[in-house]
Chain A
Amino acid sequence: MISYLTHLGKTLAPLPPLPAPAQGQLSLNTPVGSCVDHFKHVWLADTAHNRLLIFDRELEQLLASYGELGNRPGEFNMPFRLLAHPEKPWIYVTDMANKRIQLLEYTNNLQIRLIKTFGDDFPLPLTGPNGIVYHQGKLCIADEFYEGTDGESRLVICTDEGQHLNDIHQIHYPQADKDPVQLLWPQGLTLDDQGNIYIANTGFNTLVRCDWQGQAVPFPENNKTYIEGLELTRDVACIQSRLLIPGGEANAIAIYDLQGKKQGRLRGFFAPIQITEAPDPDCLLITEPLLASFQLHQIDLHSLEGDASRFTRVLTSVGDDRDQPGQFHFVASAAGGLDYQTTSETSHYQPPFKTWLDKKQENFESLTSGWPTPALRSWLYLTLNWQNEWISRWQDSWWRLLLGQGIENPKDRLWIVDSGNYQLQTTNQPIPDSIRPTSRPLLPGSLGIVSLKTKRRLAGQLAPEVPLLVVCNYLTSLVTIYQYHPVFDDLVPYRVFGSKGSLPWQLDRPQGLAIDPTNQDILIADSGNNRIARWRLTLSGIAGLVEVFGQPGDGDGEFHTPSDLCVDPEGQCYVTDQFNHRIQVFDHQGKWIRSFGEAGYATEGDRFLLPTSIAYEQRHLIISDLVNRAIKIFTCAGEFVDSFSGFGADPNKGQLWMPYLIQVKNNKVYLPDCALNRINIYQLNFGSS
């Protein structure tokens, strides 16, 4: 009933002959892990590109690359974390989607060879190897997606050559009356000087400490074996006797001492994951996967005390902007659809002034070498960069007008929110690199999109035959409606509504959008307020709030982060109640009717783990089940029909990593994956099952 067709989005740019400068055109795709080897080379897991990149210690030169997509030894599917053996010239790679560890040997001149793979041969094979640490001849591996008897994950202990020793399912206190600590989706691991293990226990948002037997090592500050009150815990690093927790506070790295006392934060980050101590003093290597960036920062951690906030000094940053034609950078949602009969080409032209400016920037050093004042050179560089940015945004519009290269057939296109490039992209063909940006910049934080075909022309609507595009913004909580302008042959803003807050007419972190086909109302998954908002555009083009329904909780009609919704032709509304792991159904008045689904690992059936997105098509519900990496099809009554699943980064198999807001039209499923930076397209066939 559901099968994979193809994808949109360029997946991998070839590397130049190596060694080559690391700055400039090197494109990364959601890089996660890093480590430093014996010869002070810096290794990076370019995870969604399925390769390892090796740099010099200052990230100035890209020296080598290793691996490619595949499941044979030496090939990767989502290489995630890297660990350099402290005594031997070995690197461990957690090859996550292949569910194994790969052990590599290297030399000073970066001759790399595979020694062995292991983990898939354990008595209970690894299911999602993530963090990895070494201590006294033993490895500890966080098996993120292992399912214990109570749903808990595990740590696996093995020898440094991959011989399984034992598992840790719970962290036990010596006192019998204290409940053991469970692990759920453990990711990053680190060690202190005593060899204690620190676990980023993502499912609970806690940082857990234990020894190698799984016994609790409580923090004196709270007498618990974990630190709580963290915004996110995806990773942890113990550096200079400080615990660095990326994302422990929003857009920051939270810092604690080993007693569990907070020591401040490093600010100026987006969603950092791995922090590795760099070879040079006071330097940290930090991956920003969603920004597709790998950075070298300088900070004296001992200068932090109390509840200080500090910024680091950025010495180097590797990874381009992912704004080349055909590329996505955090693609989040799509509206409309593709007409598979279309055969015309979508042209990609590089505005000539931009090309000229790019060249000027490349030759900046030689152009300004005779200039006496460094400040003037800096000013010129900044000016060139701003000009370049401005021109790349707006020149498209003017060239389109002058050359008559409009948006062909605006009624029948796929519109895509490319959040990291803060712009809408579009295509009319199912060809991977056929996407191209519209000249319409979006606000940073734009997330959900839906198309709205009005039944009658609204006041100020220029082309009523072309659907309006409704875009919500996660950060500002604004909803912007765009319309097609037939003269400019481009999108222009039509209306804006919403504001950030919890009052009825406000929104907080809105995610998915849907249109009620019975009356064209706009429904918004107001995830931060744990409710659904219904808005209506009047004939005079004014947006007004109709109602909100829902409140925080896990009872009937209550939500815990509703992330998306859809409405069937009768006006029944289906909501992905994400952290309650279920689908809730409401009638046209917002009254709860029923819910279905419960928490659990399953690629088939009605067990969900963080169901994230939902769409309606031909009396069926199409649901994206995030942790299970599955697209599940149900009848509207909640009966399971079919599914497609696949965890990984293989573009030939329709695999998924972080699928976001789903779109279905004409039996085609468009599922943007914001970590893989592509949109997978699947075919639905309701007639053959």
Chain B
Amino acid sequence: MNTFKKAAQKRLKQQGGSLKKQSTSTATPEAVSEDALIQLSQMIEELEQQSLTPEYRTRLLQKLEALQAYQRQVFHGQLPPGPYN
């Protein structure tokens, strides 16, 4: 049996397993949302509670923006996985 055939059989076997796993998965978009929002609110608190230099405040705000980019990635950047997955 050549390498391609062996690999295909292994994948087919695994596909059956992953279908079962998928049905019991709890990784919902809502769970992602909750966690990301907790992080976001923590960062806003951090900003409010500390007496910050303008530079440090700017830096934290940049981090907040990056987090927002990350949220966008999680919520909006959902793509099909590509032709080979």
- In contact, A444 and B82 (Cβ under 8 angstroms): no
A447 to B30, CA, bound (A): 23
- In contact, B82 and A184 (Cβ under 8 angstroms): no
Contact with B along A341-382 (1 / 0, CB 8 A): 000000000000000000000000100010001110110011
Q: Tell me the smallest distance from the CB of A71 to a CB of chain B, in Å.
A: 25
Q: Does A274 contact B (CB under 8 A)?
A: no
Q: Tell me the smallest distance from the CB of A537 to a CB of chain B, in Å.
A: 24
Given contacts A229-B17, A317-B70, contact A475 B8 (CB under 8 A): no
Given contacts A374-B57, A378-B47, contact A268 B36 (CB under 8 A): yes
Determine the chain B residues whose CB is within 8 A of the CB of A315 once the complex forms. Answer: 63, 66
Contact with A along B54-85 (1 / 0, CB 8 A): 10011011111111111011111111111111
Determine the chain A residues whose CB is within 8 A of the CB of B58 once the complex forms. Answer: 365
- In contact, A560 and B12 (Cβ under 8 angstroms): yes
- In contact, B81 and A291 (Cβ under 8 angstroms): no
A250, closest chain B residue (CB): B27
- In contact, A313 and B16 (Cβ under 8 angstroms): no
Q: Among A184, A271, A290, A313, point to the contact of B3 (Cβ < 8 A).
A: A184
Determine the chain A residues whose CB is within 8 A of the CB of B16 once the complex forms. Answer: 552
- In contact, A270 and B11 (Cβ under 8 angstroms): no
Q: Does A683 contact B (CB under 8 A)?
A: no
Given contacts A378-B44, A419-B79, contact A579 B61 (CB under 8 A): no
Determine the chain B residues whose CB is within 8 A of the CB of A184 once the complex forms. Answer: 3-4, 7
Given contacts A268-B36, A268-B70, A270-B78, contact A581 B83 (CB under 8 A): no
- In contact, A229 and B70 (Cβ under 8 angstroms): no
- In contact, A560 and B73 (Cβ under 8 angstroms): no
Q: Does A203 contact B (CB under 8 A)?
A: yes
- In contact, A581 and B48 (Cβ under 8 angstroms): no
Q: Does A445 contact B (CB under 8 A)?
A: yes
Q: Does A675 contact B (CB under 8 A)?
A: yes
Q: Does B53 contact A (CB under 8 A)?
A: no
Determine the chain B residues whose CB is within 8 A of the CB of A330 once the complex forms. Answer: 79-80
Given contacts A317-B69, A528-B19, contact A374 B11 (CB under 8 A): no
Determine the chain A residues whose CB is within 8 A of the CB of B76 once the complex forms. Answer: 422, 444
Q: Tell me the smallest distance from the CB of A240 to a CB of chain B, in Å.
A: 22
Given contacts A184-B4, A374-B61, A528-B19, contact A579 B77 (CB under 8 A): no
A420 to B9, CA, bound (A): 32
A302 to B41, CA, bound (A): 25
Determine the chain B residues whose CB is within 8 A of the CB of A204 once the complex forms. Answer: 6-7, 10-11
Determine the chain B residues whose CB is within 8 A of the CB of A659 once the complex forms. Answer: 83
Q: Tell me the smallest distance from the CB of B40 to a CB of chain A, in Å.
A: 8
Q: Tell me the smallest distance from the CB of B34 to a CB of chain A, in Å.
A: 10
How many chain B residues touch A (CB < 8 A): the figure is 53
Determine the chain A residues whose CB is within 8 A of the CB of B78 once the complex forms. Answer: 270, 444-445, 475
- In contact, B73 and A291 (Cβ under 8 angstroms): yes
- In contact, A580 and B8 (Cβ under 8 angstroms): yes
- In contact, B35 and A311 (Cβ under 8 angstroms): yes
A288, closest chain B residue (CB): B73
B17, closest chain A residue (CB): A229
Q: Tell me the smallest distance from the CB of B32 to a CB of chain A, in Å.
A: 6
B26, closest chain A residue (CB): A309
- In contact, A291 and B77 (Cβ under 8 angstroms): yes
Q: Tell me the smallest distance from the CB of A420 to a CB of chain B, in Å.
A: 6
Given contacts A552-B12, A599-B4, A599-B5, contact A475 B80 (CB under 8 A): yes
A315 to B70, CA, bound (A): 10
- In contact, A151 and B2 (Cβ under 8 angstroms): yes
Contact with A along B16-55 (1 / 0, CB 8 A): 1111000000010000100110010000100110000010
- In contact, A375 and B44 (Cβ under 8 angstroms): yes
Q: Does A316 contact B (CB under 8 A)?
A: yes
Determine the chain A residues whose CB is within 8 A of the CB of B54 once the complex forms. Answer: 369
Contact with B along A208-241 (1 / 0, CB 8 A): 0000000000000000000011011000000000
Q: Tell me the smallest distance from the CB of B19 to a CB of chain A, in Å.
A: 7
Q: Among B68, B74, B83, point to the contact of A612 (Cβ < 8 A).
A: B83
Determine the chain B residues whose CB is within 8 A of the CB of A444 once the complex forms. Answer: 75-79
A477 to B27, CA, bound (A): 18
- In contact, A560 and B47 (Cβ under 8 angstroms): no
A502 to B16, CA, bound (A): 12
A612 to B80, CA, bound (A): 14
Q: Among B8, B19, B70, B79, point to the contact of A554 (Cβ < 8 A).
A: B8
A309-328 contacts to B, CB under 8 A, are 311, 313-317, 321
A295 to B63, CA, bound (A): 12
Determine the chain A residues whose CB is within 8 A of the CB of B35 once the complex forms. Answer: 267-268, 311
B interface with A by C-beta (< 8 Å): 2-12, 14-19, 27, 32, 35-36, 39, 44, 47-48, 54, 57-58, 60-70, 72-85
Beyond A419-B80, A660-B83, list 18 extra A-B contacts (CB 8 Å): A203-B3, A229-B14, A251-B27, A268-B73, A268-B74, A290-B82, A291-B77, A314-B70, A317-B70, A317-B73, A373-B48, A374-B44, A374-B57, A375-B44, A445-B79, A446-B80, A552-B15, A560-B11
Can you name 16 A-B residue pairings with CB atoms under 8 Å? A150-B3, A184-B4, A204-B11, A231-B18, A271-B81, A288-B73, A291-B77, A314-B67, A315-B66, A375-B48, A382-B68, A474-B81, A552-B12, A560-B8, A579-B11, A627-B84
4 pairs of A and B residues whose beta carbons are closest in the complex: A599-B4, A444-B78, A374-B47, A474-B80
